[in-house]
Amino acid sequence: MATADIQAFLDDLYAQLQPLRQGQLACYIPELAKANPDWFGISVVTLDGRSFDVGDVQQTFTIQSISKVFVYAMALEDYGREKLLKKVGVEPTGDPFNCLIRLDEDSKRPDNPMVNAGAIATTSLITGQDPADRLNRLLAMFERYIGHEVFIDMSTFLSEKATGHRNRAMAHLMLNFGMIDEPLDDALDLYFQQCSVLVNTHDLAVMAATLANRGINPITGTQAVDAAHVRDILGVMYTCGMYNFAGEWAFRVGIPAKSGVSGGILAVVPNQAGIAVFSPPLDSHGNSVRGLKVFEALSQEYGFHLFDLSLGRCRFTAALGEDS
């Protein structure tokens, strides 16, 4: 049976990669250094709501930079693409995610919404009457993608708030150039809160499947984001989602994706599936070591690379379909 083959492929991949001992835990946020380097989960969710899970898929962790995709999507809905483009660009940087001074020389915009400066600028645009209202809108947005109530990990939030001097410095720099407005602490708190949203690997795969399914959560049927914005969201993930590894990722794996320093990677195979991997040890770019290997293998096995998809060489639907 084909779905049994997909599950067996994931089980094998998990068994092969579980013994890997490369990579380091992110420790610049003290709470993240407490993660267990052995945690490892892979989850694939299809557009008809089937899921293939292996490993620690129920282990919760903070979403970190993966949140940037969804907050950008919210800003697209709040402002529209042209207005948002004036505030945050869509150009990959080739620099690390927390790179400090990279505002475009002429426009003073941060390069893109997937690096911290661009993400903080994006978060500062989220509309609402007061901080509580903005946070509630943000949590409601995550809940549409995930399909259940979400919570913020208070210790991680406080840990980031106490130690996030680099992010604070970026916010001040952007304030200096008139790219974001006072009060900075409100925007920074909301940014630290969005990074501290608790998810598990399966949740991330459902979020990815929602984007793969034109913005409709395949489990709940809820429209999480207007389908009209999905192309822009995936475009920015494809070019900027994997930090300064984005080019090599596009070449080797070819799936719009976003990683975070807690060890998650979420990837969207349009019209096919949402995929997520969680494994905390990171490489020098800040991407999960096991996660990269899982995606290389999956892309190879099922023809998930966008240029395989567009050439009709994706083998996933066929693999699923043979089952019925």
In angstroms, how far is CA 13 from the centroid of its own chain? Answer: 22
Nearer to ligand GLN, 116 or 217 (CB): 116
Dihedral of the CA atoms 174, 177, 181, 182 (nearest 10)? 80
Max Cα distance, the chain (Å): 60
The H-assigned helical ranges of the chain are: 2-17, 67-79, 81-87, 116-124, 131-146, 154-163, 165-176, 184-195, 201-212, 230-240, 246-252, 289-302, 306-309, 316-321
> To which residue do tokens 């995929």 refer?
275
Catalytic residue among 45, 261, 268, 294: 261
Least Å distance, CB 96 to ligand GLN, is: 9
Tell me if residue 68 is catalytic: yes
Nearer to ligand GLN, 24 or 98 (CB): 98
Least Å distance, CB 102 to ligand GLN, is: 15
Percentage helix, strand, coil for the chain under 3-state DSSP, each rounded to 5: 50, 10, 40
Rounded to whole angstroms, how far apart are CA atoms 183 and 307? 44
Tell me if residue 57 is catalytic: no
Tell me if residue 243 is catalytic: yes
Nearer to ligand GLN, 195 or 230 (CB): 195
Nearer to ligand GLN, 46 or 167 (CB): 167
Least Å distance, CB 62 to ligand GLN, is: 8
Which tokens belong to 40? 């490892």
Tell me if residue 261 is catalytic: yes
Per-residue exposure over 236-245, b if at least 16 CB sit within 10 Å of its own CB, e if not: bbbbbbbbbb
Q: Tell me how many degrees the CA angle 285-204-311 measures, rounded to the nearest 5.
A: 75
Catalytic residue among 65, 67, 262, 299: 65
**List of residues contacting ligand GLN (CB under 6 A):** 64-65, 97-98, 116, 160, 167, 195, 260-261, 286
Least Å distance, CB 275 to ligand GLN, is: 18
Q: Which residue's CB comes closest to ligand GLN?
A: 65
Catalytic residue among 68, 71, 196, 197: 68
Tell me if residue 83 is catalytic: no
Nearer to ligand GLN, 216 or 246 (CB): 246
Catalytic residue among 14, 145, 243, 302: 243
Q: Which residues pair with 24 in a beta bridge?
A: 282
Catalytic residue among 191, 253, 268, 294: 191
Least Å distance, CB 245 to ligand GLN, is: 12
Active site residues: 65, 68, 191, 243, 261
